[in-house]
Structure 1
Amino acid sequence: MRVLILGGTAEARALAAELHPQTYVVTSLAGRVTNPRLPVGEVREGGFGGPDGLAAWLAAERIDLLVDATHPFAARMTASAVAASAATGVPLLILRRPGWTEGPGDAWLRARSLEEAAALIGSEARVFLTTGRRSLPVFAALPGRWFLARSVDPPEPPVPANVRVLLDRGPYTVAGETVLIREHRLDVLVTKDSGGPMTTAKLVAAREAGLPVIMVNRPPVPPEIPFVETVADAVAWVQG
């Protein structure tokens, strides 16, 4: 059995650890993050060149099963996986951790896109922006706002005129997020519905500080593809 995991997430690393060494596992990383956390087993870094390139790689490497365990917002990679699976006949599973849910005391505004999220930001807001470095151009044209933008790697221009970039990698703590909110006098959090425990501290800190949260919804999972939310279910699918 030869399995390709499209990775870059904690779930992908956990799945590789569960399958290796009994199953031959290759984890593919897009190569967009400096010094990524590496899974066990074989690792491939860099893109495939779209769905045709991925299909050719699956055939050349005699891959039996394909698991898309990429970030919930990696819609382009998921689309390539769906197309490559259809072209080669290699079965595909999508592994996505559950999204976050609003609880008592939360004040969330749901946005269908980054552009819609940007339109919801008040004209003089001080924004805690945690939507990733590649999203900053969407917010670059907003005058009058001040941004604290956190990302793992430095963003490329264009970026907002009034922005402080904080380079950091989770997991984070509620105490640490509370300090950021207080020291920078932040009054709104803008984030993606990535789910998972590594970055939930910002949501708790926002709730405790009374900050509204603009939450960008995930792109939908293709309905025709098998889909699970836990590593255990993904292991069962591979071994089934």
Structure 2
Amino acid sequence: MGEWEGEGWRWIFKWIKKLFAWEEDLVGDLLVVVNQSPLRANTRDVRNVVGQRMEKDSSPSYLGRLPWRNRAPPRAQLHLWFILQGILNTKERLHRLKFAGIEDDRCALCMEEPETIDHLFFSCKISSRFWYFCCNQWNLSLCLPKHTRMCLLSWFGNPFKNFDKQLWISMFYVITWSIWDIRNKIIFQAFMPNWEFEKRRHFWRLGIWVKGWCPDFPFSPMQAMEIFGDIRGWKTPRYPSKGLVLELP
């Protein structure tokens, strides 16, 4: 099925018969999908099963019971609620409503596909790299679902406990907010993102937000950016039920 090449895994599929041209195209599509979640040596495998419960679990009442609130500033919580409700003003939505100044519906990040909510945050090749980079800091490989609610439920099916679990939940907020922030700067300020800097800025923002809901958090935003591996696993005696962050960096 494959072989290790350094720290990465290369898939090698063998078939009992010669493939037709259209079948080779399907194999190419398959490789694109499986390579979105690359295997790495000396990394723990984790399986999340969301599938059959999706219709029930994605209901508004169920999502409201998830332990996801108060781990980000109120505006970021509202922003995620807009994403889940499908009412965010993406270019596809504004173009469909014939909003002035929106000439096309192409994604502001990749400029290839219509900028729907699902595409912008989860299936865009640019934002996907952002998710994979963040998961790599946890030594996890993530097969990112392409639908908003399925991605949220999959994210909450994490193997972490205590502080790490709350940190992981906060990261979901930070990633979605950061993607939207970069996207808006590109559209309205002709911003040219330096993605290496944006990755570092992401963890700096995470450090600020965590300090909001956990005042005992001993690390500075700069340390969150530089030594994130040391922050994971930090033992805290408690963390409050209400968030304290008032501003969004």
TM-score tier, shorter chain, comes to: under 0.3
Higher helix share: 2
TM (norm. structure 1) is 0.25
TM-score by length of 2: 0.25
